[in-house]
């Protein structure tokens, strides 16, 4: 198949670095390793598919990825947030830049002639009529893939196109139900997240790195806005009596600032988590079934993981065998205290988790499931 990704590019500096490190005889990646789409890209290429990408967050006129800046979320009012809030109040179809981006997508698709248009979630740019036009003129199928709730996060542009999507891929089962209620004809909970054994594995660390990263409990992820990550904040606040380390590319609540060690992306993120005794993974408030990226990434490192007790976690893992789960803050503290005191048990759970995801949760396996869901 010829698959055209329609996605926003995050972490542009990491992509430029990846391009610089690509040998001359190899194809340059479309996404940086810090984005899940990178590993889908690798798995789909290995299965013989031809890929291209349209970066929808690139300005229509004179834009290249060097102009894209890293997005750091803060709850403070900043000029950038004020500008974005103002622009978001404008109907998208009156925005000349967005209209031009839609036309550029049409031109790109006409040249590439995709069989599949893969639209990544959080689309605030591409109109439903653009998707309908491409589907009609090119005869391509439209795949929509998202790890977040359409009720909480999706834009009206995405929801109004729901009936155009030939396949919706989600992490969380309940998100799939929501998409079906919006009219999507075919929804599959894979989940989208998985691991690539060539990338997701324990990395060697220097003594200096180990001193910098080592902690009993590590957390890597987003903590703001508080109304979307209240469960994470509550769990981490309960663990402040332990040796806690927090890494985030965004701002964090004041109560957790003393525990922040810095930013973490890509391979460095994996090194950081590899140096912890336990990694805590709490799903966002908008994920009630489970299945975020960290669930599989942590296990791939051979590190003991403790996650909130959700149906999806129990579907994809076995508590007390290859993961730990907690039901309340008091339960979390008790389990952390016990597993930190039992090196043998902690290491066994970590080893079991790694073997489990290598055997059952790779992007190569997800790619095969995607093909089956699309009827190939």
Q: Could you report the per-residue pLDDT of 168-200, keeping only the tens digit for each? A: 999 999 999 999 999 999 999 999 999 999 999
Query: What tokens does 38 get?
Result: 């990178």
- Is there a contact between 52 and 5 (Cβ–Cβ < 8 Å)? yes
Domain assignment present for 67: yes
Domain assignment present for 19: yes
Which residue's entry shows tokens 């990263």? 213
pLDDT of residue 69: 63
Cβ burial, residue 131 (10 Å; 0-12/13-18/19+): buried
Same domain, residue pair 189 and 219: no
How do beta strands 116-120 and 141-146 pair? parallel
Confidence check: pLDDT of 90 > 80: no
**How much of the chain exceeds pLDDT 70, in percent?**
94
Domain assignment present for 325: yes
pLDDT of residue 367: 98
Distance CA 318, CA 306 (A): 12
Same domain, residue pair 69 and 132: yes
Domain assignment present for 220: yes
Same domain, residue pair 132 and 38: yes
Confidence check: pLDDT of 165 > 90: yes
Give the 3-state secondary structure of residue 92: helix
Digit-coded pLDDT (tens) for 2-16: 999 999 999 999 999
Instruction: Give the number of residues written for the chain.
Output: 376
Confidence check: pLDDT of 70 > 90: no
Domain assignment present for 141: yes
Digit-coded pLDDT (tens) for 305-323: 999 999 999 999 999 999 9
Confidence check: pLDDT of 65 > 90: no
Same domain, residue pair 32 and 80: yes
Same domain, residue pair 189 and 48: yes
Bridge partners of 144?
119, 168
Digit-coded pLDDT (tens) for 101-114: 999 999 999 999 99
Per-position b or e across 153-170, b if 16+ CB within 10 A of its CB: bbbebbbbbbebbbbbbb
Domain assignment present for 199: no
pLDDT of residue 71: 52
pLDDT of residue 68: 79
Position 73 confidence tier, pLDDT thresholds 50, 70, 90:
very low
Same domain, residue pair 189 and 72: yes
Domain of 296 in residue numbering reads as 207-360
Q: How many domains does the chain have?
A: 2
pLDDT of residue 234: 98
The pTM is what? 0.92
Query: What tokens does 292 get?
Result: 């975020």
Query: What tokens does 55 get?
Result: 């970066």
Same domain, residue pair 267 and 322: yes
Digit-coded pLDDT (tens) for 209-266: 999 999 999 999 999 999 999 999 999 999 999 999 999 999 999 999 999 999 999 9
Confidence check: pLDDT of 38 > 60: yes
Domain assignment present for 369: yes
Domain assignment present for 188: yes
H-type helices in the chain, by residue range? 12-21, 36-46, 79-88, 96-112, 128-138, 156-160, 173-181, 207-213, 230-238, 266-274, 293-300, 311-316, 329-340, 343-360, 363-373
Same domain, residue pair 171 and 213: no
Same domain, residue pair 301 and 319: yes
- Mean of per-residue pLDDT scores for the chain: 94
């Amino acid at each position: 198949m010829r698959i055209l990704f329609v996605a926003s590019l995050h972490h542009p500096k990491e992509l430029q670095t990846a391009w610089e490190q690509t040998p001359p005889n190899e194809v340059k990646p479309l996404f940086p390793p810090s984005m899940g789409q990178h590993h889908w890209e690798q798995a789909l290429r290995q299965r013989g598919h031809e890929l291209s990408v349209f970066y929808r967050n690139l300005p229509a006129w004179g834009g290249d990825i060097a102009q894209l800046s890293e997005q750091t979320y803060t709850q403070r009012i900043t000029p950038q947030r004020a500008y974005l809030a103002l622009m978001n109040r404008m109907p998208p179809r009156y925005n000349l830049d967005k209209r031009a981006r839609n036309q550029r997508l049409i031109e790109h698709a006409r040249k590439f002639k995709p069989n599949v248009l893969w639209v990544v979630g959080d689309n605030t740019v591409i109109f439903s009529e653009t998707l309908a036009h491409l589907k009609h003129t090119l005869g391509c199928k439209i795949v929509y893939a998202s790890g977040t709730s359409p009720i909480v996060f999706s834009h009206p542009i995405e929801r109004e196109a729901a009936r155009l999507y030939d396949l919706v891929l989600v992490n969380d089962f309940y998100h799939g139900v929501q998409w079906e209620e919006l009219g999507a004809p075919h929804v599959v909970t894979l989940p989208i997240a998985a691991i690539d054994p060539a990338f997701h594995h324990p990395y060697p660390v220097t003594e200096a790195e180990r001193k910098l990263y080592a902690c009993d409990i590590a957390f890597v992820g987003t903590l703001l806005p508080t109304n979307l990550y209240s469960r994470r904040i509550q769990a981490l606040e309960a663990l402040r009596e332990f040796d806690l380390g927090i890494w985030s590319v965004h701002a964090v609540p004041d109560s957790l600032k003393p525990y922040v060690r810095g930013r973490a992306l890509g391979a460095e993120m994996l090194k950081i988590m590899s140096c912890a005794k336990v990694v805590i993974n709490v799903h966002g408030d908008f994920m009630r079934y489970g299945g975020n990226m960290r669930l599989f990434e942590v296990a791939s490192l051979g590190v003991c993981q403790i996650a909130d007790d959700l149906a999806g976690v129990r579907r994809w893992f076995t508590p007390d065998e290859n993961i730990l789960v907690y039901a309340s803050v008091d339960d979390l503290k008790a389990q952390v205290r016990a597993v930190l005191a039992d090196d043998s048990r902690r290491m066994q759970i970590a080893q079991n988790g790694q073997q489990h995801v290598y055997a059952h949760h790779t992007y190569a396996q997800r790619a095969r499931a995607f093909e089956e869901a699309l009827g190939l």
